[in-house]
C-alpha cells in the first residue's frame, strides 16, 4: 500500500460517528495508526510519518503528519508536513503546517491565535524561493468549525488539495511529497529570522533576514554540471544535523535482495559494511538538506578515506571498496566521487540509482 491507496482507503472508511471511536479494530483508525510504517518506503531522507484519528474520540479532520527529525517530531510546535482530510472526507490536502497547540498559552484558542498563524504563514511563504512554492497556493479548506481545524487552516503555509474521489497517481503523489519536503527544509531555515513583537495592534510578525556579512557556508551552492561548479558561491549560515539511520535502514533490505550482506552491528563508527563473497564495501551514509549535496559529499569523502586508512590499512586488512550513500541525487558529484575511487548510490522517487561503479558491482541497475 502506497500513499494513494492509504489516503483513498481512509477517506472511504473513516467514520467520525463510529461507536467504537478510536479503538483497535476500527479499520480507518488502524490505517492511521499504521501510517508511519505504511508510508516509510515513500518518504524522503530520514522523514517519519504518524497518523492521527483522535484520542478521546474520532477527530473531525483526521490527518497524517510527516516530519523531518532535524526540524521537529512534535506537531505541537515547529514546522511539519501533513495530509489533512476535510470533515466531509471529500478532499485531503498536503500542507506545510505550523504547530498550533503550544500557542494556546499565549494566544488562546480563538481568533487571536488564527490571526497570528495566518500572518506568520504569509511571511514564511513570502521568504521562500517563489519558484519552489508557486504551484502550492491552494487554501486549506477543512469544512469544519471546530477551533483546531480553523487553526490548521490559518497555519497552512503552502498546500495542494486532492479530491479523494479522483486521486492522482502514486508517482505524482510521491513527487509532490518529496518537493514539499524541500519546501519544509527551506522554511525551517527561514523561520528563525521571523521577528515576533506585541504592540498596540496586537502581536506583529516581521521577516528580518540575517545580515549578509554574518553569513558563511555553501547552502545555496547546487552545481548540476561542471560549469556550475565554477560559479560564484553565495554565503549563508545554516546549522546542519546529520541523521541517516532511516537511510541505512531502507538500504539494508534492498542490497540484501541483490546478494549483499549488510552489517551494522559492531562496525561503529562506520555506518554500514557490505559483504559479498570475499569482498567488503565500506559505506558512509549522508542526508542532503535543501537540495545541496556539497557539504554531504565533502563529509563522505573525508570519512570514507579516514575509516579506510584507520580501520583497514593500519589493521593489515585488505582495502575495501568505498561507497557513499545519499538521500537524493548528487548530480555532478557522482563523477567527482568516481574519480576519487568512491562509488555513489542515492534514493530516487521509485527506488535507487547510482554511479558507474555502483552499477558494475550490481548495487543498482
Residue where a domain terminates, one of 138, 161, 196: 196
249 domain-assigned? yes
In a domain, 24, yes or no: yes
* CATH label of the domain that carries residue 66: 3.30.920.90
Report the CATH number that the domain containing residue 262 is assigned in CATH. Answer: 3.40.1350.10
Question: Which of 304, 257, 325 is closest to 46 using CA atoms?
Answer: 325
Does residue 190 sit in the same domain as residue 279? no
What is the reported pLDDT for 165?
94
Determine, yes or no, domain membership for 8.
Answer: yes
Looking at 196, 216, 237, the residue that finishes a domain is 196
- Domain co-membership, 29 together with 103: yes
Per-residue pLDDT, averaged over 162-185, amounts to 92
The mean pLDDT of 136-156, rounded to a whole number, is 92
Rounded CA gap, 70 and 87, in Å?
31
Span of 135-139, 193-197, 313-317, 358-362 with lowest mean pLDDT? 193-197
Segment 109-120 shows an average pLDDT of 85
Taking the model in full, what pTM does it have? 0.67
Confidence at residue 320, expressed as pLDDT on a 0 to 100 scale: 93
Is 48 found in the same domain as 180?
yes
Is the pLDDT confidence value at 31 over 70?
yes
Domains: count for the chain: 2
Mean pLDDT lowest among 47-51, 105-109, 322-326: 105-109
**Domain span including residue 350:** 245-361
- Calculate the average pLDDT of the chain: 83
- Listing DSSP states for 310-351 in one string gives IIIITTTPPPPEEEEEESS--TTHHHHHHHTTEEEEEEETTE
pLDDT band at 235 (very low <50, low <70, confident <90, very high): very low
Are 177 and 277 in the same domain? no
Say whether pLDDT at 222 is over 70: no
Amino acid at each position: 500500500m502506497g500513499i494513494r491507496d492509504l489516503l483513498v482507503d481512509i477517506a472511504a472508511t473513516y467514520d467520525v460517528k463510529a461507536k467504537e471511536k478510536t479503538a483497535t479494530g476500527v479499520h480507518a483508525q488502524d490505517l492511521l495508526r499504521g501510517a508511519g510504517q505504511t508510508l516509510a518506503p515513500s518518504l524522503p531522507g530520514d522523514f517519519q510519518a504518524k497518523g492521527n484519528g483522535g484520542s478521546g474520540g474520532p477527530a473531525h479532520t483526521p490527518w497524517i503528519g510527516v516530519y523531518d527529525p532535524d526540524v521537529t517530531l512534535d506537531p505541537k510546535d515547529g514546522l511539519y508536513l501533513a495530509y489533512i482530510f476535510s470533515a466531509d472526507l471529500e478532499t485531503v490536502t498536503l500542507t506545510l503546517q505550523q504547530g498550533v497547540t503550544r500557542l494556546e498559552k499565549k494566544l488562546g484558542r480563538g481568533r487571536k491565535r488564527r490571526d497570528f498563524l495566518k500572518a506568520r504563514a504569509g511571511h514564511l511563504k513570502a521568504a521562500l524561493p517563489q519558484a519552489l512554492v508557486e504551484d502550492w497556493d491552494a487554501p486549506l479548506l477543512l469544512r469544519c468549525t471546530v477551533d483546531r481545524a480553523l487553526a490548521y487552516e490559518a497555519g497552512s503555509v503552502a498546500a495542494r488539495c486532492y479530491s479523494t474521489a479522483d486521486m492522482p497517481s502514486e508517482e505524482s503523489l510521491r513527487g509532490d511529497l518529496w518537493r514539499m519536503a524541500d519546501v519544509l527544509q527551506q522554511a525551517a531555515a527561514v523561520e528563525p529570522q521571523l521577528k515576533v513583537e506585541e504592540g498596540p495592534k496586537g502581536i506583529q510578525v516581521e521577516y528580518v533576514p540575517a545580515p549578509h556579512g554574518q553569513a558563511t557556508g555553501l547552502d545555496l551552492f547546487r552545481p548540476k554540471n561542471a560549469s556550475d561548479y565554477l560559479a560564484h558561491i553565495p554565503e549563508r549560515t545554516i546549522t546542519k544535523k546529520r541523521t541517516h539511520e532511516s537511510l541505512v535502514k531502507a538500504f539494508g533490505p534492498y542490497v540484501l535482495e541483490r546478494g549483499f550482506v549488510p552489517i551494522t552491528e559492531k562496525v561503529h563508527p562506520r555506518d554500514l559494511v557490505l559483504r559479498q563473497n570475499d569482498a567488503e564495501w565500506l559505506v558512509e551514509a549522508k542526508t542532503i538538506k535543501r537540495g545541496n549535496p556539497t557539504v554531504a559529499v565533502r563529509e563522505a569523502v573525508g570519512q570514507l578515506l579516514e575509516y579506510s586508512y584507520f580501520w583497514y590499512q593500519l589493521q593489515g586488512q585488505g582495502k575495501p571498496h568505498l561507497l557513499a550513500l545519499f538521500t537524493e541525487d548528487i548530480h555532478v558529484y557522482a563523477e567527482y566521487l568516481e574519480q576519487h575511487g568512491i562509488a555513489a548510490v542515492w534514493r530516487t522517487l521509485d527506488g535507487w540509482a547510482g554511479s558507474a561503479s555502483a552499477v558494475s558491482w550490481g548495487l543498482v541497475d
